[in-house]
């Protein structure tokens, strides 16, 4: 997946985070065949009334809109149904949608790309699968619509695609990029709970092979 950057108009997002990233919140754009590039371009030029998200994803790429160390205004509300998740401790990911037979849905390619991006964010910020949540779970807004209501099973399947790729708590920082690459290529799979259970020697060997180009 190609990743790009087109930074949001600063009026649409907040300042530096004061604490760690603890949640990843999934949204949908409520468009019909819109792209990550078009959405990021809109947020870069417009005053959106203090709405924004860190990432936009479509079926062939993802675009960073708000720097990850800044607070995006993606899940704020006057009343919260989630006890802890807020703009200040979460990253917002917007999935581009399509409309079929009067209903919003995601292409399989967009789902795969969103899962890949979210896995990277989970590894980077040590966010466990249970803290990847929907906008709906924070505010009860029907977002992302394809993963709410009748889409509950689709949401569970999306989450299932994340669990087997995580649990890198014991992987040293200098090896995480290599391990993430191998997980994204399906060369490494965790156990039933997503644990990798890699020995220190195995991690070192994998990094050496990666630096030699064995996995390119």
Counting beta carbons within 10 angstroms of the beta carbon of residue 94, is it exposed (0 to 12), middle (13 to 18) or buried (19 or more)?
Answer: buried
The candidate with the shortest Cα–Cα distance to 54, out of 124, 154, 159, is 124
Per-residue pLDDT at 200: 82
What does the pLDDT look like over 100-148, one tens digit per residue?
A: 999 999 999 999 999 999 988 988 898 988 999 999 999 999 999 999 9
Give Cα separations from 172 to 99, 177, 197, 198, 200 (angstroms): 43, 10, 13, 11, 9
pTM of the model: 0.79
Per-residue pLDDT at 192: 47
Tell me the backbone φ, ψ of residue 134, rounded to 5 degrees.
-90, 155
**Which domains occur in the chain, in start order?**
2-163 (3.40.80.10), 173-211 (no CATH)
Query: Taking the CA of residue 87 as centre, how many other CA atoms within 13 Å lie in the half-sphere pointing to its CB?
Result: 20
């Amino acid at each position: 997946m190609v990743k790009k950057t087109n930074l949001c108009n600063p009026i649409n997002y907040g300042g530096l985070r004061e604490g760690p990233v603890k949640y990843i919140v999934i949204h949908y754009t409520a468009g019909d065949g819109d792209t990550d590039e078009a959405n990021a371009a809109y947020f870069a030029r417009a005053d959106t009334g203090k709405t924004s998200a860190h990432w936009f994803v479509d079926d062939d790429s993802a675009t960073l809109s708000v720097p990850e160390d800044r607070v995006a205004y993606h899940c704020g509300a006057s009343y919260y149904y989630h006890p802890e998740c807020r703009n200040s401790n979460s990253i917002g990911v917007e999935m581009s949608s399509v409309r079929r037979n009067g209903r919003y849905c995601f292409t399989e390619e967009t789902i795969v790309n969103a899962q890949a991006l979210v896995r990277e964010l989970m590894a980077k910020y040590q966010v466990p699968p249970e803290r990847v949540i929907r906008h709906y779970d924070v505010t009860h807004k029907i977002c992302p619509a394809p993963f709410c209501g009748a889409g509950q099973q689709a949401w569970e399947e999306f989450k299932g695609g994340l669990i087997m790729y995580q649990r890198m708590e014991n992987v040293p920082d200098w090896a995480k990029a290599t391990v993430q690459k191998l997980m994204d290529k399906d060369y490494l799979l965790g156990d039933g709970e997503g644990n990798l259970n890699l020995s220190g020697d195995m991690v070192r060997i994998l990094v050496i092979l990666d630096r030699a180009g064995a996995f390119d």
